[in-house]
């Protein structure tokens, strides 16, 4: 994971305490979460669009979006992402 380490000549100033992440880490993690969520939405939309014309014998669409489930965390290299 990307972390920012201050210049060694400056001592421990500005370094996050153990177990904490720096501001840049938080920004990168949030950006990765947003990009992943948007990519997944785009993939689902493309899949639905590809099968929009597929119908059963009653005229109902064969591929539909079932809605949304409760958010859950997925572990990525950038950390846990909701």
Summarised one tens digit per residue, pLDDT across range 32-75 is 889 988 998 999 999 999 999 999 999 999 998 887 778 888 78
Q: How far apart are CA 4 and CA 57, in angstroms?
A: 59
The CA-CA-CA angle for residues 61, 65, 62, to 5°, reads: 20
Q: What is the pTM of this model?
A: 0.56
């Amino acid at each position: 994971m990307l972390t920012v380490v201050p210049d060694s000549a400056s001592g421990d100033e500005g370094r996050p305490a153990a177990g904490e992440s720096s501001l840049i880490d938080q920004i990168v993690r949030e950006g990765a979460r947003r990009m992943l969520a948007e990519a997944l939405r785009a993939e689902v939309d493309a899949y639905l669009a590809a099968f929009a014309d597929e119908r059963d014998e009653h005229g109902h669409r064969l591929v539909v979006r079932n809605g949304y489930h409760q958010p859950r965390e997925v572990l990525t290299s950038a950390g846990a992402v909701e």
